[in-house]
A = this chain, B = another copy of it.
Amino acid sequence: MARPRDDKKLNAIYRASLKLILKAGFGGVKMNLVAKEAGIGTGTVYIYFKNKEALIRQLYRVIRRRSNVVLLTGHKPDESFMAGFRRVWRNYLRYRLGRPEVFAFLEQYYGSQFFDPSTTDRRDAWLSPIFELLDKGKSQGLVAPIPTELLVAQLTGTINEIGKWHLEGRLQLDEKGFEYAYKMAWSSIRR
C-alpha cells in the first residue's frame, strides 16, 4: 500500500491501461488484463493503486503533467510569438498523432463515471501554455480579439479531429497536409 519505489512496474501499469483503452475503450480496461499486459500479477496492481478508480484518476494526472511538458518542448522564453505559436501547435499535433492512446483515454475519461467536472479546472490544466501564448498574441495585436477559450477550442478541436481521422485511416497527413492544417489554424485566429 505504501507507494513503492518500483517505477518500472508503475509505468508498465500505465502503459498497459492506455493500450487496452485504445483497443477497446474504457470497457476494455479490466484489472486482470491490465496486469497481464503489464507482465505482473493481478494482485500486484493493488499494491500500486488502491483500486481501479485510483488507477484511472492517477493516470489522468500523470497524462496532464506529461502533456504540459510536451507542449513546451523546445520552447525558449525569448522566442517571438509567431515562432512560439508554430512550435506549440506543432508539438500538439505531433503529440496527438503520435500518442493516440493518450487522447483515447482523455476522451473517454471526460464523460466517464470517473471524471468529476466540479473538482477539475481545465483552465489551469495542461492547455495553459496555449492560453498564455494566445493572450500574449492578442496583446501584441497579432491575434484577433476573440475570447481565448474560443481560440483554444478552435485550435485544439481541429487537431483532435485530425488525430482521430488519422487514426482511423480516413486522412493521411503528409508534409503538405501538415502545412495546410497550419495555414488553416493561423488563418482562423490571426487578426
Contact = CB atoms under 8 A, between A and B. Distances in A.
A12 B177 CA distance: 44
A164 B110 contact: yes
A157 interface: yes
A171 interface: yes
Given A122-B168, A168-B122, A184-B154, A112 B162 contact: no
A140 interface: no
A95 to B, nearest CB: 16
Contact of A108 (B108, B158, B161): B108
Interface stretch (A19-27, A58-66, A67-75, A76-84): A19-27
Contacts of A4: none
Contact of A154 (B146, B150, B161): B161
How many copies of this protein are present in the complex? Answer: 4
A145 to B, nearest CB: 9
A161 B156 contact: yes
A119 interface: no
Interface of A: 1-2, 21-22, 24-28, 41, 43, 104, 107-108, 110-113, 117, 122-123, 144, 146-147, 149-151, 153-154, 156-162, 164-165, 168-171, 177, 180-181, 183-185, 187-190
8 contacts: A22-B111, A25-B26, A27-B113, A110-B164, A150-B171, A151-B184, A153-B161, A154-B161
